[in-house]
Amino acid sequence: MPATRPRIVIAEDHTLVREGMRQLLADDFEVIAAVDDGRALLAVAERLQPALILLDISMPRLNGLDAARQLAGVCPDSRLVFVTIHADPAYVQAAFAAGAHGYVLKSEAASGLIAAMHEVLAGRRHLSPGLAGVERSPAVPEALTNRQREILQMVAEGRTAREIGEVLAISHKTVEFHKASIMRVLGLRSTADLTRYALAQGIVPT
């Protein structure tokens, strides 16, 4: 075990996987926090400024892609490695557009993840074998703001305007205002439409 292990944070909503990974990585890294959604990740990353963050894409309240977009402003020196089941090039492109340094599939062995983390910490980018090259395709421009995407995800998760307002510390009226703007921008008319849009875009998992 090295004298000083790199300090890392894990964001993964499946507790069993998260706790297992924590043990799995303990020899090589110091896991200083492990959280279950993107919102909690933003909070601990700002406070702890980890060297590296492992994050899943599908997470409740704030998914990994939208969390990554905000992490650049919160902990600019942290390296980001996505650990996900999604092999779809669209996700890979979105991840690198959001600021990722690495992208590892959960179908890889733990040794592959650990190697990828060391590579990213050494300043290089890393993709799981088979994905190389796909990250360079142009990303589709984003129609919604970060705040709108946060609200869209929570609407699609079935949360009320009041609940969303509490999570984001804004009034439920402001939430309703954002929701109306999102529907206008996307040309949608109901919560059901928003939910289907969020599912189709991968903002919430199907």
Partner 1 sequence: MSVRLLLADGHALVVESLAHLLSGRFTVVGAANDGEAALALAARLLPDVLLLELSLPRLDGLSVVRALRCGSPGVRCVFVTGHADLGHVRAAFAAGAFGYVAKDAAPEELYEAVARAGRGETYVTPGFGLDSAEVPPRQLTEQRSGGLTPRQSEVLRQVALGRTGKQIAAMLGITLKTVESHRSCIARQLGLRSPAGFTRHAVQHGLIDLADSSTPTGAAAAPEFPPADGLRSSDDRRARGPARSG
Kindly give the pairing relationship between strand 79-84 and strand 7-11.
Answer: unpaired
Task: Write down the least CB distance from residue 49 to partner 1, Å.
Answer: 26
Task: Write down the least CB distance from residue 8 to partner 1, Å.
Answer: 15
Q: What is the CA radius of gyration of the chain?
A: 17
**Binding to partner 1 by residue 180, rule CB under 8 A?**
no
CA distance 143 to 182: 9
Query: Which of 98, 117, 156, 175 is the binder for partner 1 (CB under 8 A)?
Result: 156
Q: Which of residues 88-107 bind partner 1 (CB under 8 A)?
A: 104-107
Task: Write down the least CB distance from residue 104 to partner 1, Å.
Answer: 8
**Binding to partner 1 by residue 159, rule CB under 8 A?**
yes
CA distance 194 to 101: 31
* Per-residue 3-state assignment (H helix, E strand, C coil) for 82-104: EEECCCCHHHHHHHHHCCCCEEE
Binding site for partner 1 (CB under 8 A): 13-17, 19-21, 23-24, 36, 83, 85, 104-110, 113, 155-160, 188-197, 199-200, 204, 206
